[in-house]
Structure 1
Amino acid sequence: MSTETAESGGLSLGSIRSLLDDMGPSWVAGAIAAGPASMGSLLAAGAGFGYSLLWVVVLSALAGAVSQYLAMRLGLLTERGIVGVVEDSLGEGWAWLLVADAVLAAGVAQLVIMKTVASVSATITGVDARVWGLVWGIVLAAGLAGRGYRFLELFAKVVVSLVVVLFVASLFVVPIDVGAAATGLIPSLPGGSALAAAGIVGGAVHITLITMHSYTMRARNWTERDYDLATADVGLSMIVAFGLYSLAIFLVAASVLSQGDTGTALGAAKALGPIAGENAQWLFLIGLAGAAVSTLGGNTIVPPFLVADKLGWGTDVSDSRYRWLLVAVAGLSIPGAFIPGSIIPQLLLILAVGTVGTPFAIAIVLFLLNSDAVPRPPSMFANAGGIALLGVTGILAANFVREQVAGGIAPLSGAVLAFALLVALATVALGGKFAVEELADT
């Protein structure tokens, strides 16, 4: 390892490389967060409301970091997957509800993410999107089932870093009004912007990101001794990498796109050509491809982690049952490339289903962190951050459900409403259980 010292700050280049190599679990979560659903929300917000929602973009990165920190703390202090801890601390019914909540959100997302990956690949190469769906399904199955988590982690770190560089580079070929952007840091919600703001935050604070984190840390064999490394992992992936990704996309959209350019994320990329030049278009298009592919890979491992833990199986490829779960999820994602219709409404549905289930996951994590499941409780600041997240995601979930139901109770909106009521009741019941136990203790 090199011991050459950097001129600024006296940092060893070898130690920096070692730190980057040691990091990883939160980068997989960041790869999912920095995906097409978040991109669709950022494009719609920037194109529709200019710079006025910039403060929401900044808030989303901070909120995502807080949720990942809480999930990280639970995983490190228990040294177990979240489903097993829930089953031992709360019971089997609560564990199954958490598994169903997360698997439903991840499963719906998997189909639309595959559609995005296949569509972007078709745009770049000219090969039919359905062919690309089959290709990416095979690549997923072979890569994840064959090489396991470390392959995904390395892929996530490389691709997310490349995507961030590409989108930041697009800022240099797109004119940004710095003064107008600065005014967007002052909190305000223009008329009709509540749903766009909800989508931005919902992409960073999501049930799949919260539930997967304990398993990715177990794959790294991290324990409480790695607390500082895990904290730095969260900060660099969510605040720095995901924050830069979100800022760059939002600023590009707010600067040069109009609402009509964001019918699809691909439409936004193509619109940049005549507006900001071919370089901007290709930087954006390649960045979109990288974001979609990294998200597809990260999202694929979420259901197998949770289901395997609940069934008492191993959560790595040394257990053939877990390996076949990975293959099954990869294969079930292929039909996404055959789904017709505009992608933006489908991306909003991803956020709707995921956001509806997220408050329950946050409540579970807060309950466990303040119970006997962990050796020491979180700080007052961490608890306050978690409670604030619970309130924000609860409001976002209510907004999404109201939006779905406003168009009439169809089978799809009815299913979302029923699911929302179930997890809302479970969240309230969990809060009541915690209050009763606290009163009993005192």
Structure 2
Amino acid sequence: MKKFFKNIGPGPLVAAAFIGPGTVTLCTLAGVNFGYALLWAMTLSILATVVLQEMSARLGVVTQKGLSETLRNEIKSPLLKSIIIVLILSAIVIGNAAYEAGNISGGALGMEKLFGTGKADVFGLELKLWPLLIGIIAFFLLYIGNYKIIERVLVFMVILMSLAFLITAILTKPNIPEVLKGMFVPQFPQKSILTIIGLIGTTVVPYNIFLHASLAKTKWSYKSDLQYARKDTVIAVVLGGLVSMCIIISASSVSFQDINNASDLALALKPLFGDYATYFLSMGLFSAGITSAITAPLAAAFVASGCLGWGSDLKAKKFRMVWIFILLLGVIFSSVGFKSIEIIKFAQVANGLLLPVIAGVLLWVMNKSNILGSHRNSSLQNVLGFVILGITIFLGAKTILSVFNVI
């Protein structure tokens, strides 16, 4: 058991990254509007995420390089290299800056439900204090620059988040046969297609592919450690997917439709299941917010450092500058209540373009013998990878079209 926990690491950080307040809100709406019918989309998402994240972790362990570093070295065409690097930096660095305010705001929402609204008047400007507290916690953990400390804190928070949402789901007394049917029998209720796309898109996240490779090389140094990396990936991603399912199940128990986010769900559960459901849901929302508030700046710093050839030392000045910039923007925007809609739309378009590009490039890298040798993809891994690539192309097109209100 001690050896098992010693080798748990990057996986929970990846799960922490994809279960943010946005995911919590989307799963809430999926449950309220469609009941258990869209649980199968999460089953599909878990499978796709396991396949891609295993490739990413394998790349990091075998090559001892991140994906962005590998791309810089392997893409020989200067024009193609420049296009991909600009796209990656736009989607992940700018995108994570846009989403960071949402991560911090979501965590603050959980705190407000537990301890009340914390506000202060500063020079006539009303500031929210909970986002500032979350920003300070995230800054402290990232500035220490010790991977093991960050890992342990996030593993604890992921366990707390998982228990919170699992207990909330159990309190709602779900219909188990219907839950199993929803998980394994695809259904397409009317007006559900965008929600299905959202559930898959919020789980199969482009920046996690970069984050995982960088964290895996930090955690493990030998090819013999691949067995631990694989177990870590499967356990964490499946656990993360189950957390999302628990949110959908919890929201399915609410009979009225006037719910727009997890905060509304907490209020709706109170008369049905008492204060406990509200407390557990609020704890889960806080955990989801703070874990994403830490992993988003960290991922952006790894990506920027790899793309620009800065190295990936957590204590390096340039590395710190990237995550401080993103964290600071998130704290400011969430404290003053600024809604960066246009920036988020840009990030969604960039991510829609990036996901199929990164999935395709990852498959290309994972089949290169000069990089991975005997650890390159098997035929089965390639088949699964190309099926997922097809799904990501579909998702990317739909995301971009929906942003421009074409669908």
Q: TM-score, normalised by structure 1?
A: 0.82
Deviation of 1:403 (Å): 1.6
Match of 1:144 among 142, 145, 150: 142
Q: Distance in 1 between matches of 2:273 and 2:342?
A: 26
| Aligned residue type for 1:104 | I
SS of 1:301's partner is helix
- Please, which runs of 5 or more residues in structure 2 have no aligned partner? 120-126
Q: TM-score, normalised by structure 2?
A: 0.89
| Aligned residue type for 1:300 | P
Q: Where does residue 313 of structure 2 map in the other structure?
A: 316
Q: What does the per-residue CA deviation read over 1:284-316, in whole Å, with 9 as the maximum and x for residues that have no partner?
A: 111111111111111120111121223332312
| Aligned residue type for 1:131 | L
Deviation of 1:378 (Å): 0.3
Q: Distance in 2 between matches of 1:312 and 1:345?
A: 30
Residue 101 (str. 1) matches residue 91 (str. 2): yes
Residue 379 (str. 1) matches residue 378 (str. 2): yes
- Please, which runs of 5 or more residues in structure 1 have no aligned partner? 1-15, 409-442
Q: Where does residue 19 of structure 2 map in the other structure?
A: 34
Would the aligned equivalents of 1:43 and 1:250 in 2 still touch at CA under 8 Å?
yes
Q: Where does residue 68 of structure 1 map in the other structure?
A: 53
Q: Where does residue 274 of structure 2 map in the other structure?
A: 277
Structure 1 runs of 4+ with >3 Å offset: 94-97, 338-356
Residue 78 (str. 1) matches residue 75 (str. 2): no
SS of 2:170's partner is coil
Q: Distance in 2 between matches of 1:297 and 1:407?
A: 34
Percent of aligned positions with the same letter in both sequences?
23
Q: What does the per-residue CA deviation read over 1:44-77, in whole Å, with 9 as the maximum and x for residues that have no partner?
A: 1111011111211222222211111121122222
Quickly say closer, same or farther: Cα 1:337–1:282, change in 2 above 3 A: same
Q: Where does residue 358 of structure 1 map in the other structure?
A: 355
Would the aligned equivalents of 1:77 and 1:224 in 2 still touch at CA under 8 Å?
yes
Structure 2 counterparts to residues 285-434 of structure 1, below 5 A: 285-338=282-335, 340=337, 353-371=350-368, 372-376=370-374, 377-406=376-405
| Aligned residue type for 2:198 | G
Q: What does the per-residue CA deviation read over 1:301-356, in whole Å, with 9 as the maximum and x for residues that have no partner?
A: 01111212233323123423323333333222212314648999998987665344
Q: Single out whichever of 95-104 and 160-169 deviates more from structure 2.
A: 95-104
Match of 2:163 among 147, 162, 165: 165
Q: Single out whichever of 188-197 and 268-277 deviates more from structure 2.
A: 268-277
SS of 2:372's partner is coil
Q: Where does residue 246 of structure 1 map in the other structure?
A: 244
Deviation of 1:25 (Å): 0.9
Q: Where does residue 208 of structure 1 map in the other structure?
A: 207
Residue 120 (str. 1) matches residue 113 (str. 2): no
Deviation of 1:161 (Å): 0.8
Quickly say closer, same or farther: Cα 1:77–1:139, change in 2 above 3 A: same
Q: Distance in 1 between matches of 2:365 and 2:293?
A: 29
Q: How many residues align?
A: 391
Quickly say closer, same or farther: Cα 1:230–1:108, change in 2 above 3 A: same
Q: Where does residue 124 of structure 2 map in the other structure?
A: none
| Aligned residue type for 2:12 | W
Higher relative contact order (CA 8 A, sep 6+): 2
Q: Distance in 2 between matches of 1:325 and 1:399?
A: 30
